[in-house]
Structure formats: C-alpha cells, structure tokens
Chain A
Amino acid sequence: MAGLIHRAWRNSFPHGIHPPGNKFTNRLPIKRLPFADELIIPLSQHIGAPAEPIVHRGQEVVRGEPIAKASGFVSVPMHSPVTGVIAGIELTPTAKGPKTKSIIVRPHPGAGQKVLYGAPQDYSRLDRNELITAVQDTGIVGLGGAAFPLHVKLATPPGTIIDTVIANGCECEPFLTADHRLMIEHADEIISGIQLVMKLSGAKQAIIGLENNKGDAFHAIKMRLPDKSPISARLLETKYPQGSEKMLITTLTGREVPSGGFPYQVGVIVHNVATLAQLGTLMPLRRGLIERVVTVTGPGVKKPGNYLTPLGTPIRQLLDYVGFSGTANHLILGGPMMGSSVASLDVPVTKAVGGIIVLAEERKIDEHPKNADPCIKCGRCLQACPLKLNPSQLGLLAAKRQYQAMEEEFHLNDCFECGCCSYVCPSSIPLVQYFRIAKAINREQLITA
C-alpha cells in the first residue's frame, strides 16, 4: 500500500534517506588523467576467481593487450592500460587491507593514449554463447561498485524470461557524479550497451532510471532516443538508496525481488550505466576494460572533477595530480554511504572504484561521537530502512551478541549495508557496523559447524 503511494506520487520506493547531495562536480566535463609512474593491476578486483597472469617480468605490452586471463567462468581477464613493460608480479596492498597479487606495468616514456590492441567485430552474427564469451573477454564487471563479472550476470539460467532491462543511472551516493557525466557525454554508448543486453536477454523494453537531480542527463538521453523506442528514461525521486538494485526494481516496476533471490526471478536485469557504456564502447571494437571515470572530490581536493583514469593508477599519484590539502586525512573509495576507507595510499584505482572522496577533518562531516548513547527507540531507523527491517531490534540483539536470533527472526542477511540506519540514529549507534560483524560471525559459524 505504502509502496503504491510512493511509486505513483513520487516515483520512488518507501523509506530511505535524503543526505545532502554535495554533487560539486556535476558540471565538470570528464577529463583524461595522465599515466602514473607505475600502474598496479590487482589480479583479484572482481567477485570470483582471480585472473591468471599471462605475461612475465620484463615483457613489453601495448595499451589494451590482455595481461591476465580468466581462470574460470566466474572470472574476468585483465588488460594493460598502458604501453610499457611489465615491472613485476608482486603482492600489493588493496583497499580492504590484505595484500594481493598484482601485475605492475611501467609505462614507456611518452606512451600514447591510442589503444593499439583489438579489432572491430560484428557481434550481431554471434550466437548467445559466443556473445557471452565475447563479453567476458572485455573484462567488464559491474562498475557501480559490486564488481560482479558482467557476463555471469548476463548468462541467466535457461528458462528465465526477462521482460525489462533496467539501466541504473541513479548514482544516489552523495558526492559522486561520474555516471551523471557519462550519461551526458556518452549517451550513445550507453544506449548501444542497452541494446546489446536487450538482445542477449530477449527483453522487450528497457528503462533508464535517473534521480531527478540529473535533469540535464535525462534530456541528453531523451534527445538520443528515437520516437517509439523500446528504451525509455524516467526521472525518479532523489533519495538514497534509489540506485540499489532492489529499490530501483521496485520503483520502476513495482516488483519485489524475493529475499535471497535474484532480479531475473522477477523478469528484470539491472546494470549500471557505466557498465553499459563500457559494453557499448568495447564490444564493437573487441577491446578490454582499461580505464574508467572516477569522481575525485571532497573538501580536501583542490581540483575536483570527473577523471577518466587508467585502471591501476595509485591513489597517491591521483591525489598528487588533483592537489591534496594536507589536513585531509580521511579517504573513501566509492561513496560516503557504502564506500570503504583507504588503508594505504598505494592502493590503485580498480574496476569498481567510481569515486574517491577526501574528507577534511575541519568539516566534521563524518564526526561520530566517541560513545554511542543508549537506543531511545525513536524508530527513525525503521523509517529509514529501505528493506523494512527492524534495525533497532537488530542493534539490541547485536549488543547482546545474539547473532543467531538476528538472522532467524529479524532477517539479518537481507541487509545490504546501505547505512541508512546508522545515518539517522540520534544515539549514534553504529548499527551497520554491528550488522557486518554479526554477519561475519554467522558465516564463520556456518563454516565451522
């Protein structure tokens, strides 16, 4: 009932929050970033098995050449973002903390931007399986942050009927504007990416969903769409987490993805516009994913903007380039609601990084009081949770370490850690943080049991 009202009146889903947008960079065109001294390509920057290197130390590679191959179906290859020489295959730090194996490419002095690898292909002749393999060869993963290999998502189980392809252009995280700029400047590529996904899935229609703070992008896309196109664009309420897969499906179609299930079970497939733009760009040329648009912004950045960044660029060099004020000491990969803190400045930009936010301490935008107050049962978290869970109750159980009850009675595993509950909590209880710990402990117990 509430869902119906929200859909009809506001083009939205029930609950959610309205954090300040802080989209300072939404009018800045995408700019190319120069190559760093060294590019670090982690072999595991997607969900699934790490890629296997197919190069050796000292080998010369050209921009766009594969340097690692997929090691199974749920895996993707890696391509060299620059013409240069392989400086080594070593363990390097990652955003999450543990070091993983990475290929290090040292660019040739004066290496150009021209992609020297790949050959145009006419993919309209390929059959479904050949197409999926071709998508895998591009190395594209979900660029919205999930980093799930695109070809796996496209290979829906036999018998599933997809009627709608959804292009996710919501970009509901504050600060980020990479997708916004992409929709303005690369609408054609996004549309051809959508057409390819529609062909693969057999869907009869596609909807591009955008939050209504991106009116210019909406018009840019509308202008590119012919009359009576099966692809349409819709402006939705600017609300976090509008761009979460489940919320977007509900907003656009009114369907609810069953708990623990997948969107294809309700006839929908959702892809981020950045993913689709890469698909539309790379597939006809038979190239691999070597760069992406990254929003670099925040109070600690002197030259904020949307930068077309070679994958593997270390954050240290990126920040050097955009100017970095010394007081800023809180770096976030991704958005401020779901992104992760950067553990080391040597971490490279990977496929799933859509933004780097530098928060300066003076802003106190992220200040959490040291101690949480007791829960006063105000119910704000219940009214914020997009999945209609009971974060208050979950938090109380977490404090008592009743992790089993959290899952059995209060659907802990449905929580996708959007952070709305922590955001609105007057007592500053770190709810999402509690839930992450609880999930991890439940997983461990499942393994040991």
Chain B
Amino acid sequence: MKKRLNARVEIRTSPHIHYAPSVSQIMRNVVYALVPISLFGIYQFGLSALALIVVTTASCLATEHLFMRVSDRASSLHDFSAVITGLLLALTLPPGFPLWMAAVAGFIAIALGKVIFGGLGYNILNPALVGRAFVQAAFPVAITTWTPAFIPGRFSEFVPSTLTLPFLKPISPAEWINANAIDGFTGATPLALQKFEQIQTSTIDLLMGMTSGSAGESSALLIMACGLYLAFRKMLDWRIPVGILLSSALFSALFYLINPDLYPPPLFTLLSGGMMLGAIFMATDMVASPLTPLGVWSYAILIGVLTVTIRFFGGLPEGIMYAILLGNAASPLIASLTQPRAYGKERRSLFNRRQKEES
C-alpha cells in the first residue's frame, strides 16, 4: 500500500490571485510626483517655501495621528494620504505665508476635511482645499500677499512674514522685498496683473515658472510633466485634467473672441494661477470625484467652466479652488445621474429613479 499523501489545505474563495498597487503605493507615487514641484518651489522662493512645506505636512500628519489616537483606531499615517494633503496645501499657499497660519490650515484640512467624515475614502471634499478655503476666509490679507520669485537672499533668510508669531498680524514683506530685489515690485501675480491692470505675462515665463504666485503652482511645464508620470502609471485619471483644461480653454476662448481687450487669451487661462496644479493634482482626488465614465467628464467640464466664470466675473482673480470644491460637492449627484449602462441592459434615462417610482 502506497503511503497516503497528506497536506493541510487552505480554503479560500476566488479570485485566488490579486494584482494591484496598494493604496499606500498609489499615494506614495503621488508624493513622488509632488516632490519635483515642491523642490522647484523651494528653489524659487527659498527658505520660506521650505519651512511652509515642512510645517503644513507636519501639521497634517500630527492632526491625523492625533485623531486616530483619540478615536482609538489604528494609525493611518502609513497610507501617505496625509502627506499628499500637506504637500498640496503648501503648494497652494503664498510662499511668505505665516507658518502658524499654515499649521492652522493643515489642522483644518485634516480635521474638517477628512477625519470628520471617517478618514481616507470618506471625505467628500478635497482636504487640502478645505484647509486652503478656511485660511482664505480667515486670513484674507496674508493669503494674498505675494513675494517675487528668485530673490537673491532667499536661501539665507526667511521672508519676514513667514516667522510671524502666532495670533499676531503678519509683518508686511514689502520693505524686505524692496531691500532685496528690484524696486517697485507690487507682488501681484500674473492673474492679478491681468485682471486688475490688464498686463499680460509672457507665455514662456508662465510655462517655466518665472513668476510670482503660490509656492508650487508657477511652473506649468513641470506640473504637467509630473502629472504625466502619474497618468502613465495609471494612478491619476487623465480624463479629469484633460476635461478641465479643454473646457476652460474653450469657454474662455468664447469671451476672448468677443472682447480680446478685456479677457485674456485661452492659453493664459490654462497656464496662469493654480489651473495646472488644480486640474492635475487637486481635482483628481479620487475620493471626491465621480468614477463613472460619463460622470468624470461632466465633473471635469463643470470645474473648467466654473473656474473661468469665477476668474472673469467673480471678485477674486483665481477661481480654481472654489470650482473644484463645488465640483467635489456635486460629484455624488453627478455619480448617481451617470451610472453606466450595464451589458445587456437598455440605456437608462438620466432621471431613472423618478421613472422607476412612477412605474
């Protein structure tokens, strides 16, 4: 008699194989993509930008850790999503933004933007933009005080406003800027120059990031390159930036054709302000955007049109932040209206639910 083969077998359910990058791998790659943009921001704005990036990221991580401890849940720092929020937040703030305000922004981003809804996967708005919207409302002067790029002394000293003590009004950096740089710098961004003074900034400067602005939004070219990396690794939905950029270009072209003196050319709309950073890295927050094919396009077009509308007709020179937040808020509705047509089913009408109740 042959010896009987014995083995302890494990029972599992199909599929028995699984291949996908994990959540933390995806998030880590987004961080990798943000590193060159952050480095360029530091190169442009020096110590202040570095401190800003460090403070917001640390604030986001600390807030997340604190809330996880308080709610007795396993630490979620390893998923890297709080790092993304911190980096993105810093990149949208003015380089000379007071550090204590940046810490507040980071806290609000994670506390009110993310953990209050249940943490990663449950936030309805992009957390970084929640933080930024909060400080935009709370500190309207500080968030519109800009410093020029490439000041000679940027690596040896901070912009004075950076080191403002908590709960004190920031020192205006104008004097320091004048002492360090070219006289007569107003600190206006290309968008503000265009909107309030009808001065055009050259396309090359916008592409390369030779302008003033938020810490990480100036070089359109670099942001596009980093976005392409993520898109090729399939960790970013390319349809969202393409949809936003196309729709905003077309929509602004309409106004430019009507009145080229008052409205900027479409290319300027695409390259200026936070458009690139917003379209590529902010609007693509997976959790807060729809995931049905039709929904993705509707969401992108909505954001594109809203951005241009706010820029041209609102009181602010920049509109991408509120446009994305509105898009985020609308995405559950968009998702429910754009469920895909399943194989072998009749195409459903847009207001499917209502029909069902009637029948």
Distance in angstroms from A410 CB to nearest chain B CB is 7
Distance in angstroms from A39 CB to nearest chain B CB is 16
* Distance A424 CA – B15 CA, assembled complex (angstroms): 11
* Contact present for B26 and A330 (CB under 8 Å): no
A341-B9, A373-B23, A373-B79 as given contacts; A256 in contact with B121, CB under 8 Å: no
* Distance A375 CA – B287 CA, assembled complex (angstroms): 8
* Distance A337 CA – B7 CA, assembled complex (angstroms): 23
Contacts of B8 in A (CB 8 A): 329
Whether A319 is near chain B, meaning CB under 8 Å from some CB there, is yes
A379-B291, A382-B340 as given contacts; A329 in contact with B18, CB under 8 Å: no
* Distance A386 CA – B343 CA, assembled complex (angstroms): 8
* Contact present for A411 and B345 (CB under 8 Å): yes
Whether A397 is near chain B, meaning CB under 8 Å from some CB there, is no
* Contact present for B287 and A388 (CB under 8 Å): no
Partner of A259, one of B6, B7, B26, B345: B345
* Contact present for B9 and A366 (CB under 8 Å): no
Q: Scan residues 18-76 of chain B and give those whose CB is less than 8 A from a CB of chain A.
A: 18-23, 25-26
Contacts of A260 in B (CB 8 A): 344
User: Which of B7, B10, B118 has the most A CB atoms < 10 Å from its CB?
Assistant: B7
* Contact present for B22 and A373 (CB under 8 Å): yes
* Distance A379 CA – B9 CA, assembled complex (angstroms): 34
* Contact present for A432 and B15 (CB under 8 Å): yes
Whether A443 is near chain B, meaning CB under 8 Å from some CB there, is no
* Contact present for B120 and A331 (CB under 8 Å): no
Whether B16 is near chain A, meaning CB under 8 Å from some CB there, is yes
* Distance A338 CA – B16 CA, assembled complex (angstroms): 8
* Contact present for A377 and B121 (CB under 8 Å): yes
* Contact present for B15 and A336 (CB under 8 Å): yes
* Contact present for B344 and A343 (CB under 8 Å): no
* Distance A293 CA – B304 CA, assembled complex (angstroms): 58
Distance in angstroms from A146 CB to nearest chain B CB is 15
* Distance A382 CA – B118 CA, assembled complex (angstroms): 24
Distance in angstroms from A358 CB to nearest chain B CB is 9
Whether A376 is near chain B, meaning CB under 8 Å from some CB there, is yes
* Contact present for B22 and A366 (CB under 8 Å): no
Interface size class of A (residues with CB under 8 A): 35 or more
Q: Scan residues 372-426 of chain A and give those whose CB is less than 8 A from a CB of chain B.
A: 373-380, 382, 386-390, 392-393, 409-411, 414, 417, 419, 422-426
* Contact present for A377 and B20 (CB under 8 Å): no
Whether A127 is near chain B, meaning CB under 8 Å from some CB there, is no
User: Which of B4, B14, B25, B341 has the most A CB atoms < 10 Å from its CB?
Assistant: B14
A330-B9, A422-B15, A433-B13 as given contacts; A376 in contact with B121, CB under 8 Å: yes
Partner of B5, one of A345, A386, A432: A345
* Contact present for A366 and B18 (CB under 8 Å): yes
* Contact present for B286 and A377 (CB under 8 Å): yes
Whether B201 is near chain A, meaning CB under 8 Å from some CB there, is no
* Distance A340 CA – B15 CA, assembled complex (angstroms): 9
Whether A112 is near chain B, meaning CB under 8 Å from some CB there, is no
A257-B344, A374-B121, A388-B342 as given contacts; A341 in contact with B17, CB under 8 Å: no
* Contact present for B122 and A423 (CB under 8 Å): no
Q: Which 4 A-B pairs have the closest CB atoms?
A: A374-B121, A419-B15, A379-B291, A259-B344
Q: Sample 11 A-B pairs with CB under 8 A, ordered by A number.
A: A337-B14, A339-B16, A340-B13, A341-B16, A369-B22, A373-B120, A379-B296, A389-B340, A390-B291, A411-B345, A424-B19
- B residues near A (Cβ < 8 Å) are 2, 4-23, 25-26, 79, 118-122, 237, 286-287, 289, 291-293, 296, 335, 339-345
Beyond known contacts A387-B344, A423-B20: 19 more, CB 8 A cutoff: A246-B344, A330-B16, A331-B9, A336-B15, A337-B14, A338-B14, A338-B15, A339-B14, A340-B13, A341-B11, A343-B9, A374-B119, A375-B121, A376-B23, A376-B286, A386-B343, A390-B291, A392-B291, A422-B18
